[in-house]
Structure 1
Amino acid sequence: MGKQLIIAIGREFGSGGHEIGKILADKFGISFYDRNILDNMFEGMEKTQEVLKQYEEKTVNPFLSRRVRGHTNSLEENLAEMQFDFIKEKADSGESFVIIGRCAESVLANYENTIKVFIRGNQKNKIERVMKIYSLDEKEASNKIKRHDQSRAKYHNKYSIEKWGSSKGYDICMNSSCLGVEKTAEVIAEYVKKRKEIIGNS
């Protein structure tokens, strides 16, 4: 694995995957990319960032897009490809980072420095978390989780080899409801350290 470290995290909505990723980035002193990836790609172009964020991690609308000779007018698809290129450029540069979503475990599948993680959670815990964060009632939180997870799965399955959430696509899968967000991050951090030791000694 060498000195470079990349942690690609897939997550169910409400599982705390974003927070776990942030804890890991802080723990290892490396960059953190999530929705701020657009801020980095379009630095100084705030209006462009705001417009594109509504198309991020979304699948193509078949009624508003078309493909001609391999080219598409779909903002969703073009943005996805741009993000994949950005992720690979960061990896090729030798930078260490945590990346949330964006099919990173598939985009960086051939990069030996990448540790691929998926975070899930129990429905009850996810609903409670979403209710608290977004000030929603139980039904609203449940519906929000369902919408986001369906959207993420559809987006992921379009661009990735393995199905969203399938253990085949990840090195480690964890249920954050069992230990809580901070303890889950600690366990993953220990796994990362062991991986670095094993590869460093090989």
Structure 2
Amino acid sequence: MKQTIITISREFGSGGHVIGEKIAEKMNIPFYDKDIIQEIADKTGFSEDFVKEQSEYAPSKNMFAYAFVGRDHTGSSLSDQVYAAQTQVIQEISKKGSCVIIGRCADYILKDRPDTYHIFVYGNEAEKISRTQQLFNLPEKEALAMNRGMDKKRRLHYEYYTDRKWGDPKNHCMCLNTSVLGIDRCVQYIIELIQSNM
């Protein structure tokens, strides 16, 4: 089987992580999500908690926050250093063989690789709230605030480092609504897409 890399960008609460896990299991290939955090921490010397927050989320829900972060003599912020290490880690992972990579601007970092499928997963608000409530044991109002807050910080981070619009269909070969299709059908469609190009 030729090398195949699947990147999955997703709205918070849409089930993108689960979809990625199921694809990796069915295709018998490595799955990367939180493991990337450890590798970035090893490269930078930053704590895993710091990397977890910096590798996918903006420092606040406002793009102007990037203008006020501390920078070293080269003009590089801690967030910039995490992103540089993240880019290196994802590029190294992609050279090892077929895999699934969740989030962390992987669709942009690997945009020039012809063997890569970029997927965006989203959902309707009610279903995303319900999933977040179940995962984090939250009341509806808090789940809604969490979903919206996390998505906003993801979008700002992505758009700051890639200069592209987060979730733009032009940047993905497939965009899937889990509220309409369900998790298993999304997995099926992604695998069928990959198999049709083998």
Mark yes or no: TM-score above 0.5: yes
User: Which shifted more, 33-42 or 166-175?
Assistant: 33-42
Q: Per-residue deviation at 1:41?
A: 4.1
- Alignment of 1:83 onto 2:82: no
- The equivalent residue for 2:192 is 190
Q: Which amino acid aligns with 1:65?
A: G
Q: Which runs of 5+ in 1 are unaligned?
A: 197-202
Q: Per-residue deviation at 1:195?
A: 2.1
The within-5 A match list for 1:141-160 is: 141-160=143-162
Q: Per-residue deviation at 1:59?
A: 2.8
- The verdict on how the C-alpha distance between 1:46 and 1:67 changes in structure 2, with shifts beyond 3 A counting, is closer
Q: 1-side partners of 2:29 and 2:39: how far apart?
A: 15
* TM-score computed with the length of structure 2 as normaliser: 0.88
Structure 1 residues 30-49: Cα deviation after superposition (integer angstroms, max 9, x where no partner): 11111221224446x99832
Given that 1:116 and 1:170 are in contact with CA atoms closer than 8 Å, whether structure 2 keeps it comes out as yes
Q: Per-residue deviation at 1:111?
A: 0.5
Q: 1-side partners of 2:186 and 2:40: how far apart?
A: 30
- The verdict on how the C-alpha distance between 1:49 and 1:25 changes in structure 2, with shifts beyond 3 A counting, is same
Residue 50 of structure 1 aligns to a residue whose secondary structure is helix
- Alignment of 1:66 onto 2:101: no
Q: 1-side partners of 2:90 and 2:169: how far apart?
A: 22
Given that 2:4 and 2:99 are in contact with CA atoms closer than 8 Å, whether structure 1 keeps it comes out as yes
- The equivalent residue for 2:62 is none
Given that 2:37 and 2:52 are in contact with CA atoms closer than 8 Å, whether structure 1 keeps it comes out as yes
The ranges of structure 1 where at least 4 consecutive aligned residues each deviate by more than 6 angstroms after the TM superposition are none
* Identity between Structure 1 and Structure 2 (%): 35
- The equivalent residue for 1:15 is 14
Residue 54 of structure 2 aligns to a residue whose secondary structure is coil
Given that 2:57 and 2:150 are in contact with CA atoms closer than 8 Å, whether structure 1 keeps it comes out as no
Aligned length: 191
Structure 1 residues 162-190: Cα deviation after superposition (integer angstroms, max 9, x where no partner): 31001010000010111211221111111
Q: How large is the RMSD of aligned CA atoms in angstroms?
A: 2.1
Q: 2-side partners of 1:151 and 1:158: how far apart?
A: 10
